[in-house]
Amino acid sequence: MAGLQKATIDRFSPLDLLPRRTLVEKLIELVLSGTPKGLDEMTAPLEDLAAALNEMDTADLKVVVMGGGSGLSNVVGGDSNRATWPQSPFAGLKEIFPQTKAIVCVTDDGGSTGELLKDFPVIGLGDIRHVMLSSIQKANLVRLYNLSEAQVGKAARCLHRLFTLRFDCRPDSFAQLLADSGCDLLELPTLLADTLTELLDFIFTDHNLQQALDRPHCLGNLLLVAAIYRSSGAGVDKPDDQAVLTGLTWLASLIGVGEDAVLPCTTTPAHLNLLYSNGVLVTGESKAAGGHRNAAIDRVFVEFSEEPHVPDQVIEALTEADIIIFAPGSLYTSIIPILHVPGIARAVRQNQQALKILVANLWVQKGETDLIWNDIRRRFHVSDMIKAYERNIPGGIKGLFAQVLLLGLRDIPGSILQSYAVESKMPIFLDRGQVWDLGLMPLEAKIFSEAALQRRMVQHDPAALARAVKVIWSVREHASRADVPVDSVDVAPPPLLCRAGLTPAERLRRFKEILRIPMVGSVRNALLDICWRHWDIRHDHLANISGVELVSAANWRRNQHWDRIYSFYDPLDGVIRIHEDVFHDRRKQEVALLVAVGQSLLGNYASHKDIGTVLEDSYSVGKIYRLFLRPAEERSCFFSPQELDHYLTLVRMKQAEDNALLYTRLVNGEEGFTPPGMLMGLTYAWYLDNRLATHVEYKMAITAIPGSNLVPEQLKMLDRRRKMIRFFREVVFRHNAERYEQ
Q: Pick from 119, 85, 120, 123: which is nearest to 104 by CA?
A: 123
How confident is residue 490, by pLDDT bands cut at 50, 70 and 90? very low
Task: Give whichever of 139-153, 402-416, 482-496 has the largest mean pLDDT.
Answer: 139-153
Distance of CA 560 to the CA centre of its chain: 40
Q: Tens digits of per-residue pLDDT, 586-614?
A: 889 999 999 999 999 999 999 999 999 99
Distance of CA 628 to the CA centre of its chain: 45
Q: Tens digits of per-residue pLDDT, 691-729?
A: 898 889 988 988 887 766 667 888 889 999 999 999 999
Give the pLDDT confidence score for residue 708 in this predicted structure: 63
Q: Tens digits of per-residue pLDDT, 664-699?
A: 999 998 888 899 999 999 999 999 999 898 889 988
Distances 67 to 329, 342, 452, 557, 642 between C-alpha atoms, Å: 7, 16, 23, 55, 45
Give the pLDDT confidence score for residue 401 in this predicted structure: 95
- Average pLDDT, stretch 632-660? 97
Give the pLDDT confidence score for residue 491 in this predicted structure: 44
497 has pLDDT over 60 = yes
Contact 741, 287 (CB under 8 A): no
pTM, entire model: 0.92
Please tell me the distance from the alpha carbon of residue 77 to that of residue 59, in angstroms, as a whole number: 16
Q: How many CB atoms lie within 10 A of CB 668?
A: 10
Contact 265, 102 (CB under 8 A): no
Please tell me the distance from the alpha carbon of residue 207 to that of residue 455, in angstroms, as a whole number: 47
Name residue 167's amino acid: F
Give the pLDDT confidence score for residue 707 in this predicted structure: 63
Beta-bridge partners for 271: 303
* Axis crossing angle, helix 504-514 with helix 111-119, rounded to the nearest 10: 60
Q: Pick from 57, 94, 53: which is nearest to 327 by CA?
A: 94
- Average pLDDT, stretch 167-194? 92
Distance of CA 447 to the CA centre of its chain: 25
Q: Tens digits of per-residue pLDDT, 535-589?
A: 999 999 999 999 999 999 899 988 776 677 889 999 999 999 999 998 888 889 9
Please tell me the distance from the alpha carbon of residue 344 to that of residue 652, in angstroms, as a whole number: 48
Please tell me the distance from the alpha carbon of residue 668 to that of residue 57, in angstroms, as a whole number: 80
Give the pLDDT confidence score for residue 486 in this predicted structure: 40
Q: Tens digits of per-residue pLDDT, 40-58?
A: 777 788 888 989 999 999 9
Q: Tens digits of per-residue pLDDT, 402-448?
A: 999 998 888 788 887 777 776 667 888 899 999 999 999 999 999 98
Q: Which residues of 54-91 are buried (b: 16+ CB within 10 A; e: fewer)?
A: eeeebeebbbbbbbbbbbbbbbbbbbbbeeebbeebbb
* E strand or H helix at 699: helix 694-700
Contact 704, 588 (CB under 8 A): no
**Architecture per CATH, 62-478:** 3-Layer(aba) Sandwich (3.40)
How confident is residue 8, by pLDDT bands cut at 50, 70 and 90? low
Least confident of 2-11, 47-56, 75-84, 422-431: 2-11
Give the pLDDT confidence score for residue 367 in this predicted structure: 62
DSSP state of 381: B
Average per-residue pLDDT for the chain: 90
According to the 3-state scheme, what is the secondary structure of 185-197? HHHCCHHHHHHHH
Burial class of 607 by CB neighbour count within 10 A (0 to 12, 13 to 18, 19+) = middle
Beta-bridge partners for 548: 576
The phi, psi pair for 664, rounded to 5°, reads: -130, 160
78 has pLDDT over 70 = yes
How confident is residue 494, by pLDDT bands cut at 50, 70 and 90? low
Contact 281, 740 (CB under 8 A): yes
Q: Is 674 helix (H, G, I), strand (E, B) or coil?
A: coil
Please tell me the distance from the alpha carbon of residue 358 to that of residue 228, in angstroms, as a whole number: 32
- Contacts for 192 with CB less than 8 Å, ≥ 6 apart: 145, 155, 254, 255
Q: How many CB atoms lie within 10 A of CB 741?
A: 8
Please tell me the distance from the alpha carbon of residue 79 to that of residue 64, in angstroms, as a whole number: 18
Give the pLDDT confidence score for residue 275 in this predicted structure: 93
Give the pLDDT confidence score for residue 235 in this predicted structure: 82
Q: Tens digits of per-residue pLDDT, 129-140?
A: 999 999 999 999
- Contacts for 358 with CB less than 8 Å, ≥ 6 apart: 325, 326, 386, 389, 400, 401, 403, 404, 405, 440
Beta-bridge partners for 665: 625
Q: Could you give the percent of the chain with pLDDT greater than 70?
A: 91
Give the pLDDT confidence score for residue 589 in this predicted structure: 93
Q: Tens digits of per-residue pLDDT, 307-348?
A: 999 999 999 999 999 999 999 988 889 999 999 999 999 999
Give the pLDDT confidence score for residue 484 in this predicted structure: 44
**Domain extent listing, the chain:** 2-54, 62-478, 515-741
How confident is residue 458, by pLDDT bands cut at 50, 70 and 90? confident
Give the pLDDT confidence score for residue 616 in this predicted structure: 87
Give the pLDDT confidence score for residue 500 in this predicted structure: 67
Q: Pick from 228, 247, 371, 353: which is nearest to 297 by CA?
A: 371
Contact 79, 97 (CB under 8 A): no
The phi, psi pair for 86, rounded to 5°, reads: -60, -15
Please tell me the distance from the alpha carbon of residue 565 to that of residue 416, in angstroms, as a whole number: 45
255 has pLDDT over 60 = yes
253 has pLDDT over 90 = yes
**Phi/psi class of residue 54: alpha, beta or left (left: φ > 0; alpha: ψ in -120 to 50)?**
alpha
Give the pLDDT confidence score for residue 6 in this predicted structure: 56
* E strand or H helix at 441: strand 441-445
Least confident of 75-84, 467-476, 500-509, 542-551: 500-509
